[in-house]
Amino acid sequence: MSDEAGGVIGKETTIRGEVIGREDLRVEGRIEGTVRLEAELIVEEGGTVAAEVESAALTVAGSFDGKATCSDLVTLRQGSHATGTITAPQVVIEDGAVFDGTLEMDVGLDAAAQGNG
């Protein structure tokens, strides 16, 4: 039943363009362009997303290149490869993940600054 919800881009499929959604999307294939999801984007092992991404959450087990802005959690799994800019309140990079880029964690800078001062 939950099979009906969400989407998947299969191993042998490439999308070039824009993907907009309000449900989780698993990428086993490839997306190039723009992804906007009010849900989680999951880049599976072997999958590639080369895109500007806005989503609630992002999990990368495959490869990601681009700019990701997430309102919740970003997880870079062991064996994943990511480049670009990741902006999120919470980012987890597992041991064995490769990340080359910029992390911007929005963790209430004002509060942190006040705590330090």
Partner 1 sequence: MLDSMPRRREMAETVIGPRTKVQGALEGADRLVVRGLVKGTVSVDGPVLVAPGGTLEAEVAAVEVAIAGAVVGRVTARGRVEILPAARMVGDVRTPRILISDGAVFRGKVDMDFADGEGATHG
Do residues 55 and 70 lie in contact, with contact meaning Cβ atoms separated by under 8 Å? yes
Shortest reach from residue 59's CB to partner 1, in Å: 17
Shortest reach from residue 27's CB to partner 1, in Å: 10
Shortest reach from residue 5's CB to partner 1, in Å: 6
Shortest reach from residue 2's CB to partner 1, in Å: 11
Please compute Rg for the chain using Cα positions.
Answer: 15
Nearer residue to partner 1 within complex by CB, 31 or 76: 31
- 33/17 Cα distance (integer angstroms): 5
Nearer residue to partner 1 within complex by CB, 24 or 60: 24
Nearer residue to partner 1 within complex by CB, 33 or 89: 33
Q: Hey, how many other C-beta atoms are within 10 angstroms of the C-beta on 91? A: 19
Q: How far is CA 76 from the centre of its chain?
A: 8
Do residues 68 and 88 lie in contact, with contact meaning Cβ atoms separated by under 8 Å? yes
Binding site for partner 1 (CB under 8 A): 4-23, 25, 28-29, 33
Nearer residue to partner 1 within complex by CB, 13 or 78: 13
